[in-house]
Amino acid sequence: MDPTEGWHDTPAFSGSCQCGALRYDVTAGPAFASICHCRMCQRATGSPFAALLKVASARVSWHGMPAVFDSSSLAERGFCAACGTPMFYRQKGTEWIKITSGSMPPEVPFRPTQQWGIEGRHDWLAGLAIPGAETVERDVISHQGAFN
């Protein structure tokens, strides 16, 4: 797979949680939009799937301190401690962060070109015309509660 495939340039934008206590600014640059159906993303977002925009962490500045849940051996999840809005997914030890699309302003283009974790995909979403792949992190140790 072409490593540049699916990347597109986004303008600078600012986003926020539902209550406004946690905000961020992202500078203009390349981004990759995807969705993930895995059980950890479903639970972390309380949704059928997570919709995430991948950008370099260095391009994001925060106003307010995100709360962070150490969701697995691979990744952590940031959210607003005041209102609970999921704000990001961050793979440990990388320079990337994935911002939740729902925290972004509607004028920022969000067109997913990849779907991950299709092993967890709901049947009613099976017709999505976006290339899909199973979760690649097979050896991840989940820190979620036991009630899956």
Contacts with Zn ion by CB under 5 A lie at 17, 19, 21, 80, 82-83
CB of 81 or CB of 125, closer to Zn ion: 81
Q: Residue 31 or residue 104: which is nearer to Zn ion going by CB?
A: 104
Alpha carbon of 116 to those of 65, 103, 113: distances in Å? 28, 20, 10
Ordered DSSP codes for 13-52 = EEEE-SSSSSEEEE-SEEEEEEEE-SHHHHHHHTSSSEEE
State the nearest-atom distance from the C-beta of 61 to Zn ion, in Å: 17
CA distances in angstroms from 135 to 115, 132, 145, listed in the order given: 9, 10, 19
Q: Smallest gap, in angstroms, from Cβ of residue 103 to Zn ion?
A: 10
Amino acid (one-letter) located at 98? K
In the complex, minimum distance from the CB of residue 62 to Zn ion, in angstroms, rounded to a whole number:
12
Q: Find out whether 55 and 31 touch, Cβ atoms under 8 Å.
A: yes
Nearer to Zn ion by Cβ, of 76 and 134: the residue is 76
Residue-wise burial string across 92-101, b where 16 or more C-beta atoms lie within 10 A, e elsewhere: eeeeebbbbb
In the complex, least distance from residue 68 CB atom to Zn ion, rounded to whole angstroms: 14
Please, which residue, 11 or 20, has the CB nearer to Zn ion? Answer: 20
